[in-house]
Structure 1
Amino acid sequence: MPAFPQSTTPTHTTVAVPPALSLPVIETEFPRQLHPYWPRLQEKTRAWLLEKRLMPADKVAAYADGLCYTDLMAGYYIGAPDDVLQAIADYSAWFFVWDDRHDRDVIHRRPAAWRRLKQRLHAALDSPRDHLHHQDPLVAGFADSVVRLYSYLSRKWNARFARHFHAVIEAYDREFRNRASGIVPTVQDYLVLRRLTFAHWIWLDLLEPSAEYELPNAVLRNPVYRRAALLCQDFAAWYNDLCSLPKEIAGDEVHNLGISLIHHEGMSLTEAVKEVRRRIEEGIDEFLVVEQEVLRYADRLDDGSVQGAELADAVRACLFNMRNWFSSVYWFHHESGRYRVDSWDDRSTPPYVNNETAGEK
């Protein structure tokens, strides 16, 4: 079926989903949305990657649009003001480039370069304006993104975002050490680590500037709201694992739910794929139930006051975009060149990465 049934843009056409990765419930129950700003988003993020020197010009020209990074964000943060969505999309593109640098630092055994980058990112997160002109484009680009994201809500939200991303950086460090040592995490350890390396809380934090409303702790800690939030992100992380399994086996990765199941539970590849699918499908079914509970919770928040109505509308907007995460992630994995391992000259080296020792500068 078309990725964007309601869209007339020629960029998106019917995508053939392999049977092993097909989830009919996503295609039928989660209609895909697209932010109307998307065409400009794609153009401006491409220009931002060039301006910040995050990808070489030839790779931006050849691969940036086909990687579909902006499509992913334009399908998630529906209703966001254009400038908020642009800041999120640029940050997301930066995140993918950072993930690739991390991978190359592992592959080329550059622990000193990785440690320097880790320290610089921690520092840039705490004082981004001081790092806007850093010599490493990855640090400067990150600082630029953070300055923009910090401008929308309160210092309290900024501190929460920073706390969450400091944890993501440290999780990437644990992943670096695991990969360098060939350590495959147990299934349970992996699931905990994955919520950090996938940056669950970051993507959920960004629902709030998209809704132009900072949620109080009472909502963020509400069990049904929190459960819906985690279910949408766990789906994304585990479906990514399912689609990334060939790419990550080719790259000698050790962080994938399927790889942990194979290594620690004694499953065959076929059995592991089946188990990952089972977990994904159970999570989708649970979200559909919890979604209704969150809507009832929002109705209770709408107590007749102006404040109550605004809070309830913000919760509904955030829940709507949690729902959109399912379809956006699903189609992204079948459109993006990031997962087309069979088309690469070297299955362990993505053609869109800068394979030079940039981390050693």
Structure 2
Amino acid sequence: MIETAFPRQLHPYWPRLQERTRSWLLEKRLMPADKVEEHADGLCYTDLMAGYYIGAPDEVLQAIADYSAWFFVWDDRHDRDIVHRRPIAWRRLRFQLHVALGSPRGHLHHPDPLVAGFADSVVRLYAFLGPKWNARFARHFHAVIEAYDREFRNRTSGVVPTVDAYLELRRLTFAHRIWTDLLEPSAQCELPEAVRKHPAYRRAALLSQEFAAWYNDLCSLPKEIAGDEVHNLGISLIHHQGMTVEEAVTEIRRRVEECVSEFLVAEKEVLRFADTLADGTVPGRELSLAVKAIVANMRNWFSAVYWFHHESGRYMVDSWDDRSTPPYVNNEAAGEK
């Protein structure tokens, strides 16, 4: 379904992107050198971003890709802090990230590489558009940090959220709004609020992100069952609706396929809306083209997410020595400092 309706694309900068993000991970000490050498390329973090933000200037794509790699490393730290019962380490990191988001330049040399790497990413991302976009990004990411804290508390206390509660939280832990926000610097255009809040635009954006989150849950279900996880749509369906694993997989697949078919409808609606923005003025034409470019990248998100989950070593749990411990994480040291 995805391979037919959503042809795969890669930004032409991708080979350099992969090389430079690998170097950035080493420079910022976000992964040990042996982990970078063995796993960085196979994790396909840069492939995911290079398949999404087509048309972005090289420096914008590089900043997004580095930030995305940081996000995955942060997600792994969060996971290890939960597995190894390190609430003090997590609370400290949570607080430091909130502070760094407000004053990133003051945290470029923070002793925790995860905080310093985050600050570096934010400084670079803040350089592309205006203060209103920066404030929106910060507001959205503050919410992501707090959602990660709710997940931390759920997992350490063994609470499986209901399906509705999980879906609401998942939109934050997957950072739906962040990846959508980053479409704007990729198109070199800060969208006015009237465009961002237009029902057609919001619908298309949400469907592309929902597809990604639920497809992620589908592909990571074996890994997360092995790791005694409680945060997965499949696990919520099994726990609260009495489904078998097979029934839960079928239900997630149904939701994923529904996202695809509904996006194809929403895409047409938002493109019609984009046509109305071309009002005969130069700014109107530029805004119309920017919205069309952004919608094209919402479409690209489907193929980028699909191929990422089938190619990244992050989901090849059957090849791991320990199905509950990813081989690419620094399992012993993460979060201890």
2-structure distance, mates of 1:197, 1:298: 30
State the partner residue of 2:260.
284
State the partner residue of 1:71.
47
> Which of 54, 57, 60 does residue 33 from structure 2 map onto?
57
The question of whether the paired residues in 1 share the 8 Å contact of 2:81 and 2:334 is answered with no
Please provide the CA RMSD for this pair: 0.5
State the partner residue of 1:15.
none
Q: Deviations over 1:184-224 (max 9, x none)?
A: 00000000000000000000000000000000000010001
- Give 1:10-29 correspondences, 5 Å limit: 25-29=1-5
Q: Tell me the amino acid that sits aligned with residue 93 of structure 1.
A: A
Q: Deviations over 1:33-79 (max 9, x none)?
A: 10000000000000000000000000000000000000000000000
Q: Tell me the amino acid that sits aligned with residue 2 of structure 2.
A: I
Q: Tell me the amino acid that sits aligned with residue 335 of structure 1.
A: E
5+ long unaligned stretches in structure 2:
none
**TM-aligned CA deviation for residue 338 of structure 1:** 0.3
1-structure distance, mates of 2:271, 2:221: 35
State the partner residue of 1:297.
273
State the partner residue of 1:11.
none
1-structure distance, mates of 2:313, 2:40: 9
Helix, strand or coil at the partner of 1:35: coil
Q: Tell me the amino acid that sits aligned with residue 112 of structure 1.
A: I
State the partner residue of 1:17.
none
State the partner residue of 2:314.
338
State the partner residue of 1:93.
69
**TM-aligned CA deviation for residue 360 of structure 1:** 2.2
Q: Tell me the amino acid that sits aligned with residue 179 of structure 1.
A: R
Q: Deviations over 1:270-290 (max 9, x none)?
A: 000000000111111000001
**TM-aligned CA deviation for residue 359 of structure 1:** 1.1
Q: Report % sequence identity.
A: 81
2-structure distance, mates of 1:37, 1:297: 31
Helix, strand or coil at the partner of 1:358: coil
Matched, 1:120 2:82: no
Structure 2 length normalisation: TM-score?
A: 1.00
State the partner residue of 1:203.
179
Matched, 1:357 2:307: no
2-structure distance, mates of 1:268, 1:101: 30
Helix, strand or coil at the partner of 1:171: helix
Structure 1 length normalisation: TM-score?
A: 0.93
2-structure distance, mates of 1:283, 1:350: 29
Matched, 1:177 2:153: yes
Q: Deviations over 1:79-105 (max 9, x none)?
A: 000000000000000000000000000
**TM-aligned CA deviation for residue 304 of structure 1:** 1.1
- Give 1:139-218 correspondences, 5 Å limit: 139-218=115-194
2-structure distance, mates of 1:207, 1:38: 17
1-structure distance, mates of 2:277, 2:163: 38
2-structure distance, mates of 1:356, 1:216: 46
Q: Tell me the amino acid that sits aligned with residue 303 of structure 2.
A: S
**TM-aligned CA deviation for residue 342 of structure 1:** 0.4
2-structure distance, mates of 1:253, 1:322: 29
**TM-aligned CA deviation for residue 303 of structure 1:** 1.0
Matched, 1:259 2:250: no
State the partner residue of 1:321.
297
1-structure distance, mates of 2:38, 2:256: 33
**TM-aligned CA deviation for residue 357 of structure 1:** 3.2
5+ long unaligned stretches in structure 1:
1-24
Helix, strand or coil at the partner of 1:66: helix
The question of whether the paired residues in 1 share the 8 Å contact of 2:97 and 2:115 is answered with yes
Runs of 4+ residues over 2 Å off in structure 1: none
2-structure distance, mates of 1:168, 1:312: 30
1-structure distance, mates of 2:334, 2:321: 22
Q: Deviations over 1:287-320 (max 9, x none)?
A: 0001000110001111111111011001001100
Number of equivalent positions: 337
Q: Deviations over 1:241-275 (max 9, x none)?
A: 00000000011110000000000011000000000
